[in-house]
Structure 1
């Protein structure tokens, strides 16, 4: 992920003002990369820290699967026919409500590892396939907030509580040739704040001139992608995409040998967004 920090103004109605592509789960920066077997350093793994969110409206949507047993054969004495069993309902383990809120494990909502990929390297200290609860994220934030003055700390804590954080899901992927690593993160929090975060990132990465414009995501106008600044001769390139899907902020990072295979990256991000589409996200 790209670097970002959160500052607090001294205005009458203070609000955190992110600097850099907005990361609502705190200042996130590159960590030390682990070299792939080829010797390339591929993933800018990131850690989640200060300020962010996941709203906890976990509303289930059931899919009814109706099954009936074969009717019992009629006897010669015309015995009474057994009543068919009542239909049974099998709840979906995860999905999306019509209002855009998602339910179920974020690990289920994350895109399964597609054919041609394997789980990638660890994303910071969180591993390569994990869900972090609101309590875990809050405890980590509190630890990081000890480094700043108390008055700013209290304002950031107030901001965090207003986001209604629920969880973060993380999964990384790598190609079989180890020349591309992709990280996906699902941040679940208040829908209005998710939308603001995505809009802010689009404006910041599009209007400052600091980033190169990335590919579009067909069928998902709310998604946007951008590439990090890099000289034309750089051997490694880095691309990031962001999208808002209801109460989920979806962030994808991709790093690999230049030029990046943008078609593969777009396809994978599209598959992730399609999986989250509401209503009725499913396996």
Structure 2
């Protein structure tokens, strides 16, 4: 964990710009978690009989002995290749799901498209904070975002896997700050752990009696990638089964090389 401060250390009057940016973005991520139900797909209403099944995302080709891998992770934790290849392919029992806000259901955004992704994030914040957050986001120098939406074939849940690529130090800071904000909040229930990934975290919002949908969000730092998964599902949500999707995604990104 980097960029932390001890409880007894005096906070500088004006912290470094990078620290202010990291805290601002971590705050907006936590705020987005708190409002996880807003704007999410209401599965039984939107898809009572299930939408037409789109073609499954093609799995990344396996590297041959004579050709270098087209995607993967280097020993230093940085990833190479398409973010769509690094995303978990559509597993058995799932199909590509609905669009995730303005980011599509199976897409990769490069530098030219990141403004659209930032606007999507800004839309989740109260208007009076958007200017400050926009400045903070601009200082983080995102280089790519990949999104893949999944829908379970029985229509009981949807899941969105999202990879955000920027430098490793900032990814680590975001993950640590996000965890601190969640730990200090009573808005969430702690989800199950992710096997073989002790630094990954899954949380759920509190439920009210009679709620028909539950939500789970998982996040982790994997080198230069901040990895997130957001799930909406019919109560009761099979937490362990859903978290296994996140485990598969993290396994795919593990160093020294990702594996299909």
TM over 0.5: yes
SS of the residue aligned with 1:218?
coil
- Partners of 1:142 and 1:264 lie apart in 2 by 32
Gaps of 5+ in 2: 1-12, 51-62
Residue 232 of structure 1, CA deviation: 3.7
| Bigger-Rg structure (1/2) | 1
What residue is the counterpart of 1:11 in the other structure? 14
Residues 1:33 and 2:41 are matched in the alignment: yes
What residue is the counterpart of 1:273 in the other structure? 250
Residue 23 of structure 1, CA deviation: 8.5
What residue is the counterpart of 1:101 in the other structure? 78
Residue 228 of structure 1, CA deviation: 1.1
Higher relative contact order (CA 8 A, sep 6+): 2
Residues 1:204 and 2:204 are matched in the alignment: no
What does residue range 3-152 of structure 1 map to in structure 2 within 5 Å? Answer: 11=14, 13-14=16-17, 15-16=20-21, 17-18=24-25, 19-22=27-30, 30-31=38-39, 33=41, 35-38=45-48, 65=65, 89-138=66-115, 141=118
SS of the residue aligned with 1:265?
helix
The answer on whether the counterparts of 1:133 and 1:166 sit within 8 Å (CA) in structure 2 is yes
- Partners of 1:124 and 1:266 lie apart in 2 by 22
The answer on whether the counterparts of 1:129 and 1:172 sit within 8 Å (CA) in structure 2 is yes
- Partners of 2:138 and 2:210 lie apart in 1 by 45
Gaps of 5+ in 1: 1-9, 41-62, 66-88
Residues 1:217 and 2:194 are matched in the alignment: yes
Q: How has the CA–CA distance of structure 1 residues 258 and 134 changed in structure 2, closer, same or farther, with 3 Å as cutoff?
A: same
The answer on whether the counterparts of 2:37 and 2:215 sit within 8 Å (CA) in structure 1 is no
Q: How has the CA–CA distance of structure 1 residues 140 and 182 changed in structure 2, closer, same or farther, with 3 Å as cutoff?
A: closer
What residue is the counterpart of 2:162 in the other structure? 185
CA RMSD after TM alignment? 3.2
TM-score (norm 1): 0.69
TM-score (norm 2): 0.75
How many residue pairs are counted as aligned between the two chains?
Answer: 224
The 10-residue stretch of structure 1 (252-261 or 231-240) with the greater mean CA deviation from structure 2? 231-240
